[in-house]
Amino acid sequence: MSNLSKLEFVALDIYGKNYLSWVLDVEIHLTAKGLGDSIIEGNKTSSQDKAKAMIFLRHHLDESLKVEYLIVTDPLELWIGLKGRYDHLNATVLPRVRYEWMHLQFQDYKTVIEYNSVVFRITSQLKLCGETIKNKDMLEKTLTTFHASNMILQQQYRGKSFEKYSELISCLLVAEQHNDLLMRNHEARSTESAPLPEAHRVEAHS
């Protein structure tokens, strides 16, 4: 398969489900290729670079979208057309991810990795919609949503005065792994099943 047939990221779905992430991918890749100005209004991009940008954009469109925009030859015109078609998704995505962030609770997840994955999914979507969640907000969200039975543990973590969310998550992951190992050892053999030391065997036999 030639390089021309390989997608550098997922093509834009005709329903626009991945529009927000697609826009970010396009901007990054066009900039890396020196073609970023081709989708900016008032640009003075050469016809050759416009053609390169257009090839790249069309290559990352759903086949049905390619047909719909078949006669469009200017990358800026295509960019504006797609923006007008899908930009309304911000209005539907933003309220949903705001709601998810508001109701996100550390105690609702079985593992730290699962919780962390959801945090990054929500914060990434918020960023794509123009809102940024700061480190301190992520720290506070995590520390204030521990289960009530872990109140003392939560206070201990808060006492460490983490400045980065990643530092807290790393600490929680280590603790989770240690707890998991402890439980595995406990379940593998109960205390009563442990073999008696030699001295105890003799004494018990007597």
At 15-62, the pLDDT tens digits run: 988 888 899 899 999 999 999 999 999 999 999 999 999 999 999 999
User: Could you give the 3-state DSSP secondary structure of residue 12?
Assistant: strand
Mean pLDDT of 140-160: 89
pTM: 0.65
Q: Kindly give, in sequence order, each residue whose CB lies less than 8 Å from that of residue 73, ignoring residues fewer than 6 positions away.
A: 54
User: What are the contacts of 119-127 at 24+ separation with CB within 8 A?
Assistant: 119/165, 122/97, 125/20, 125/93, 125/97, 126/94, 126/97, 126/98, 126/101
Q: How far apart are CA 173 and CA 12, in angstroms?
A: 36
Length of the chain: 206
Strand partners, 61: 12
Query: pLDDT by residue (tens digit) across 84-139?
Result: 998 887 788 889 999 999 999 999 999 999 999 999 999 988 888 888 899 999 99
pLDDT at 2: 40
